Amino acid sequence: MSNPNTAARKLPRLLLTGAAGGLGKVLRERLKPYADILRLSDIAGMDAATGPGEEVVPCNLADKQAVDALVAGCDAIVHLGGVSVERPFEEVLEANIKGVFHIYEAARRHGVKRVVFASSNHVIGFYKQSEHLDAHAARRPDGYYGLSKSFGEDVAQFYFDRYGIETVSIRIGSSFPEPLNRRMMSTWLSYRDLTTLMEKCLFTPEVKHTVVYGMSANKDVWWDNSAAAHLGFVPQDSSEVFREKVEAQPPVAADDPNAIYQGGAFTAQGPF
Ligand code: NAI
Ligand code: 15L
């Protein structure tokens, strides 16, 4: 059901970074109804055959001038672009840390008032799976990638406090067609729920800087979204339908990070 607080439903021009990636491809299709023009951007090549209402603007997020030009003329930004797994710091620095700063600087310069930032559960990855968190829990990043998302959330808060640019930072759990392992039974976010959440993030009238956990209505969850109730996000899917398939996988050892930490294997990657 739609959020009664959700106002306008179509933006003149919406920027989608990371459009060539896994979630970018999904949202390229699903965000079309919410924008007259969807501006698609990535450093990687993508299907350049633009459909009606699409435009493709290639860009390296590490290039400040290029990002400035990318953001010009846009009304809102869904920022998915960047390194999406644990990588050496220098790579994360360019794409994620400089990248997110460039996005907000460009938003400030061009008067963009709403950003949806693809943060990650890896900002809190070092909590145990036995712990339950809301959005106010202190962050415990589980690597350079998690640190970059934590920085992004701080940048979002700063640009709201200083310039009034509103952001929803979605701490996405695991958004794939289906949960791939036992850990993802808790962290899974279906594409349908991701799309609904994006719509809430873009159109809820006042969000300030909201942090929301991106998860479906899974049975055993670690996260509490009460601090983001104003978004009116009510997930429809649950990982339960995949339980039999997931539990047919070999058991995970009790001392495996995948069985201990919310961030799973990310907590044990590197040093590079
Ligand atoms: P992905 O790795 O498939 O897509 C990321 C895209 O960013 C890629 O197409 C890549 O070419 C682009 N990119 C990387 N460096 C760039 C640069 N310097 N300039 C411009 N573009 C660059 O990742 P996915 O799964 O689609 O995730 C999208 C976003 O959501 C990412 O920010 C990721 O960190 C975040 N996220 C995703 C989760 C998931 O379960 N899929 C979970 C948590 C967070
Ligand atoms: C993420 O942040 C990654 O981008 C994604 O590829 C998954 O690994 C996800 O977290 C997860 O924790 O399952």
Ligand nearest to the CA of 124: 2
Backbone angle region of 133, left / alpha / beta, with phi > 0 → left and psi within -120 to 50 → alpha: beta
Find out whether the beta carbon of 84 lies less than 6 Å from any atom of ligand 2. Answer: yes
Q: Rounded distance, CA 67 to CA 103, Å?
A: 6
Confidence of residue 263 (pLDDT cuts 50, 70, 90): very high
Residue 207 in domain:
yes
Q: Residue range 66-91: average pLDDT? A: 98
pLDDT attached to residue 51: 84
Task: Look at residue 63 and tell me whether its pLDDT is greater than 70.
Answer: yes
The model carries a pTM of 0.97
20 domain residue, yes or no: yes
What domain range includes position 205? 6-268
Is 145 a known active-site residue?
Answer: yes
CATH code for the domain in which residue 160 is found: 3.40.50.720
Query: Nearest C-alpha to atom 29 of ligand 1 is from which residue?
Result: 80
Question: Measuring CA to CA, how many Å separate 75 from each of 17, 33, 72, 199, 254?
Answer: 14, 15, 9, 14, 48
List the beta bridge partners of residue 174.
188
User: In the prediction, which pLDDT does 48 show?
Assistant: 67
Q: Is 39 part of any domain? A: yes
CA of 96 to the centre of ligand 1 (A): 10
For residue 3, name the pLDDT band (cuts at 50, 70, 90): very low
Nearest CA to ligand 2 atom 11: 174
Q: Look at residue 208 and tell me whether its pLDDT is greater than 80.
A: yes
Confirm whether 1 is domain-assigned.
no
- Residues 196-213, mean pLDDT to the nearest whole number: 98
Q: What is the number of domains present in the chain?
A: 1
Determine phi and psi for 123, rounding to 5 degrees: -75, -15
**Which of 104, 145, 191, 213 is labelled catalytic?**
145
* The pair of three-digit structure tokens given for residue 147, joined into one six-digit string: 């640190």
Residue 6 predicted with pLDDT over 60? no
In-domain check, residue 231: yes
Task: Give residue 49's pLDDT.
Answer: 72
